[in-house]
Structure 1
C-alpha cells in the first residue's frame, strides 16, 4: 500500500469538498427529486450526485481506504485503518427552499490518530475551511489564510433539530445569563462549526450521541481543534471520550460560561413541547 503524507491527505480532502460543492452549486434551484429517509429527514438528487462525485474522487485517489457516505453508507473493509467520512450536503432543508446556508464535509479518520485531515466547503461563497490535523486554514480565491477563533461576535449557534434528548440546546435560549452575554443563531448546518474556527461565531452547541466520527460533525470538530478552540461534549469531556453532544467555543472562557449555563439548566424543571421534565 503506497504511503501518503498528512499534507497529501489534506489536499485530497480539500479537493473532494470542492468537487461536492461544485455539484451543489450546479443543481441549486433546479427541481430535485426527494428521497425520504425518516420523519422530517430526506435527501435530494443534489445530495446523491454530490456524494457520488466525492466518492469517485476519493476511491480513485485512495483505493485502499474505506469510505462512509451520508447517503450510501459504509464501504470497504470494516477493519481498515483509514476511513473517509463524507457528508455531501449538510443543510438539505435549507437548500431545498433556496437558502444558501449549507456545507459540504469530508474528513479522514485514522485508527489510533483520530481525524487527520478534513475540509468543509461553503458552495456559495467559494470558501473551503480545511486542516491537515495541525493547521486550520481558509482557502479563498486560491489563497490560504490561517483561521483565528474569536469570541468577539458573541453569536452562539444552537442546533435545535429534534429529537430532543436529556438536554436540548433550546433550553439555553431562556437560561438566565445567556441573553446577557450571547446572541443565539440557528443556521441548521454544521458550516457553523467552521465559522467558530474562523472567528465568525463565538460558539456552537448541539446535542446528540458520539459525534467525533460523525459524517456531519467530524470535519467541523477537527477544524475547531486545529484552530485552537475549546471543544468538548456536553459533559465537558473531549469529543473522543464524551458521552455525547458538543460545545465548541472560540476560547476557554466562552466555553466555561456555556458549560456553567448548561449545568444550571440541567436542574431546571421543564415541561415544554419535547422537553423532558426533570424533578
Structure 2
C-alpha cells in the first residue's frame, strides 16, 4: 500500500469515502459526500450543516442517516457530537457525554464508540490515529486554521507531555519519533487549480516555513495565487514527523469544486446557487 496515492473509489455506503490506510482493525473512519440524504437543492441531498439555511427537519434526517451508518459499521451505538467550527486551533476532548456545538476545530478521544467528527465544504478534513489504535482525532483545516496550527494542536493530543529538562534538539527528535507512530488521512477539499488566494495567505504560510512557497502558483494577476491546501497540510504534518500520509494527493478527483455531483463546495455554490451543504468526516474506536 502506497501512502499519498489512494484512489477515491473506496466507499462505505452510497459513494461515501472510506480511508484506505493500514490503521488497526478497530479504528473505523468514513467521510460522507453530498449523496444519500433528503435535503432539497441547493443542499441536495446529504447536507449536515445546521447553519447554512437548509430545512432543519431535513438536516436532522440527514444526521439520522449518518448515525445509522456509524452504528451499523460499529455494530453498536456510536456517540456523535459535531463541533461549532471557528477556524481556530482548539482541540475538544470527547467522551460519551459530550454535547454538540462546542467551539473547536479539532476533537479527540481514547474511548470506544465516540466519533470524532468535523464538517467541511472546501476546507480540508484530516483524520488521525496512532498505530496502536489507542487514540483518534479529527481536524478541520481551512487555510486560517492550518496556518495557525490546528494540525499541530491535534497531534499534541497524542503526546500531551513535553519531556522536561531536555534540549530543543532532543525534544525535536522525540517529536519526530512520535510522529512516526501517527497515521493521517486527508479528505476531499478545494483543489490546487481552484483555490485562489491573496498575498496575505501565502505570506502567512511562508513566514513560518519558506518551503511553503512551492504550494503556491502565480495566478497571472497581481497579488493572486493558486494554493494547494492539501499540499500545505502534508508539509505541516511531515514537519511533525508524520510520514504515513494517505488520501488527498491534490489530484482532481479529490477537489470539491471540480466534482459537483459528489462534493459540496462553498466557493462553487454559495454565490451561484445561494448556499452549499456540508460533509462530515468521522473517526472512532471500536470496542
Report the TM-score, using the length of structure 2 for normalisation.
0.30
Q: Which structure's relative contact order is higher, taking Cα pairs within 8 Å and 6+ residues apart?
A: 2
Report the TM-score, using the length of structure 1 for normalisation.
0.31
The answer to which structure has the higher strand fraction is 1
